[in-house]
A and B are shown apart, each in its own frame.
Chain A
Amino acid sequence: MSTVTHDTQHDAHHHGAPTGIKRWLFTTNHKDIGTLYLWFAFIMFLVGGAMAMVIRAELFQPGLQIVEPDFFNQMTTVHGLIMVFGAVMPAFTGLANWLVPMMIGAPDMALPRMNNWSFWILPFAFIILLSSLFVEGGGPAFGWTFYAPLSTTYSSDSTALFVFSVHIMGASSIMGAINVIVTIFNMRAPGMTWMKMPLFVWTWLITAFLLIAVMPVLAGAVTMVLTDKYFGTSFFDAAGGGDPVLFQHIFWFFGHPEVYIMILPAFGIISQIVPTFSRKKLFGYASMVYATASIALLSFIVWAHHMFTVGMPLAAELFFMMATMLISVPTGVKVFNWVATMWRGALTFEVPMLFALAFIVLFTIGGLSGLMLAITPVDFQYHDTYFVVAHFHYVLVTGAVFSIMAAVYYWLPKWTGKMFDVTLAKWHFWCSLISVNVLFFPMHFIGLAGMPRRIPDYALQFADFNKWISIGGFAFGLSQLIFLWLLIKACRKEGEAVSPQVWEGAEGLEWELPSPAPYHTFETPPVIK
């Protein structure tokens, strides 16, 4: 559990801080909270992954095999919710907690007590969500997008539990985001000007603004679902003058910025790792900052590309198509800059770099299938098929999740002071890389051939591909156990001691600190060259 136990106990001795479980419950230290967030995210990743295994086991063969259709729907729903709100977002928040203060030369986050709260309400949110699976009538079965009237008229009685858990997750993210913004605005070390900030800090700053802009809209949407279902309002009920299509507009007004919330910090991570192992400065730093900002701004005007088939007028379809395609320009700038950073660099292929390279290639594949989905007329074919599933798993698993793994491997030696087990890490990388492509690549083909998503059964012609996909899924799931074993070993402080810089080409304030990073850092601000 503790990456920094040894030092903290030493420190705690001087400060009279609580030890044992109380240390974690009452901690206001950004490193402790970062660790809590990361472990929580990893546990949720395994829980959500177990649900994916149920889904893939059911889809291994055509016909209903293992679970009832309603339980299958609960699995797809809760898998999505857990991976988005329980795994990817908390993992990024954990990385921000650990790294933002060290990267800008601040002693801690700006609001340490709120930081403690924003983490500790999170387990309750997920206990509520997971417990709803065990109540009579079952848990949420309407997909993570909870479209009305699936979530209102046709949902199970446990929908209130779902609503409250989303409220708590939202509150946690908003508090985390406020903390990041205030820290970055007010606590940068003297001389750490805006355009000297590491890109991870920049991307997180922009992500935090996206979070405080759209998480409240999500809270509003779930509140409307709650009152529609239980208190007789008609926001989304045509009988009372409402409109179910309005739900989709409100949801995706949140939902599209949300997908950038899950990828912008990944861009930041890759922009830290690629220069280190290329032994060059990042190519086009300023353009990276502006590209991130333009992606964030554009994310507010493209939401309706998720709902091309609801019957919008042609002008709206064209507008959302063009605006969506426009996003590929700043994203292309980023991919170009990463490649240009590597150009003529002295490349080495340590584990974080392997994950970063896999990210660049596989995220780009996901981006290209996104560009295909943006084309309105063809989206009518792709809509609600496995092609969409393939697309967002390429950007979220081989994108966001691979970037998180890259980040963990990159900074883990800084956190523990010891080099992780490189052999295990390479096994983890290669097993994951191969299995993830066996898992998600064939989904493109069955999607184009017309297999609908979120259905527990399928036509016979999809049987072979689904078998391969399930095998890939099981292999990818098992590969993560290698990662778990590696992390447990790392936290038990096994391995060789590392230098403060850890990686030969690493630059930045965090690499000037000793390894492992002491419990309190930069109590006097560093001098920025």
Chain B
Amino acid sequence: MTMQNTPNHSKMVLKLVAIVIGMFGFGFALVPLYDVFCDITGINGKTSNTASVYQSVEIDESRWVTVEFITRTNTGMPWQFEAKTKRIRVRPGEMNEVAFYVRNPLNRPIVGQAVPSVSPGTAAIYLNKTECFCFNHQPLNGKEEALMPMKFYVDPQLPKDITYFTVQYTLYDVTSSAQEVASNQG
């Protein structure tokens, strides 16, 4: 190690450069790792992006869970967006349906995409949606309005200490990217 005149620097430099490149890659690998980690643990409030199938689970008659729905539109998204049901008391395991009202106030068609977020985040994986407008793009023509349904049940496995959780939908304007996809396919 301490030989003065025959140092083999290049071998060591290569190793260190490999670490640098590896860590640069690791920075990017954090993106999918974060998603996988949050998928498994559900800690960032993201819900599943695919419809779950309602299995006839036993309804937990012993407790009530309050689910609150709030809506917001992202900057630059002109739609009016409201939850028809602001708050609902449900039994874990029981199917429920709520609806959301949207209206496009402009004269041109716009494609919207809603992204849900659950708070507290730990409740996210217990919210099972069998049908949700958030699974697809929602196109609305100018001045058009619509009611968008959402069917869900709360998994009876929901921890007992969670008696109340909030589902927030943020609506984004994805018109430009939706057109891009359409033109690519066409």
Contact = CB atoms under 8 A, between A and B. Distances in A.
B19 A213 contact: yes
A525 B4 contact: yes
Contact of A186 (B12, B19, B20, B31): B12
Interface string A232-255: 100100111001011001100110
B23 interface: yes
Interface stretch (A187-195, A349-357, A501-509): A187-195
Contact of A153 (B4, B22, B75): B75
A426 B173 CA distance: 63
A250 to B, nearest CB: 5
B74 A239 contact: yes
A178 B13 contact: yes
A84 to B, nearest CB: 19
A315 to B, nearest CB: 9
B160 interface: no
A187 B46 CA distance: 52
Contacts of A215: 20, 23
B9 A219 contact: no
B24 A311 contact: no
A500 interface: no
Nearest to A219: B24
Contact of A212 (B9, B16, B41): B16
A216 interface: yes
A214 interface: yes
A110 B21 contact: no
Given A111-B9, A178-B16, A181-B16, A249 B34 contact: yes
A516 B169 CA distance: 69
B20 A181 contact: no
Contacts of B19: 212-213
Nearest to A178: B16
A220 interface: yes
Contacts of A221: 27
Interface in B129-186: 170, 172-174, 177
Contacts of A243: 34, 44, 46
Q: State which size class the interface on B falls in.
A: 35 or more
Contacts of B28: 220, 224
From A186, A188, A214, A238, residue with most partner B Cβ within 10 Å? A186
Nearest to A222: B27
Contacts of A224: 28, 31
B13 A182 contact: yes
B45 A219 contact: no
Interface string B40-80: 01011110000000000000000000000000001100000
A484 interface: no
A246 B38 CA distance: 11
B21 A216 contact: yes
B115 interface: yes
B2 interface: yes
A316 interface: yes
Contacts of B20: 174, 178, 212, 215-216
A217 B8 contact: no
23 contacts: A111-B13, A178-B20, A181-B12, A182-B7, A186-B9, A186-B12, A187-B4, A189-B4, A212-B23, A213-B19, A215-B20, A216-B23, A216-B24, A216-B26, A217-B26, A217-B27, A220-B24, A220-B27, A239-B113, A239-B173, A249-B30, A250-B31, A313-B122
Given A181-B12, A239-B115, A311-B45, 16 more contacts: A153-B75, A178-B20, A186-B1, A186-B7, A186-B8, A213-B19, A217-B24, A219-B27, A220-B27, A224-B31, A232-B177, A238-B172, A246-B34, A249-B34, A253-B27, A311-B120
- A-B residue pairs, 8 tightest by C-beta: A220-B27, A239-B172, A186-B7, A216-B24, A216-B23, A217-B27, A178-B16, A525-B4
Interface of A: 106, 110-111, 153, 174, 178, 181-182, 185-193, 212-221, 224, 232, 235, 238-240, 243, 245-246, 249-250, 253-254, 311-313, 316, 525
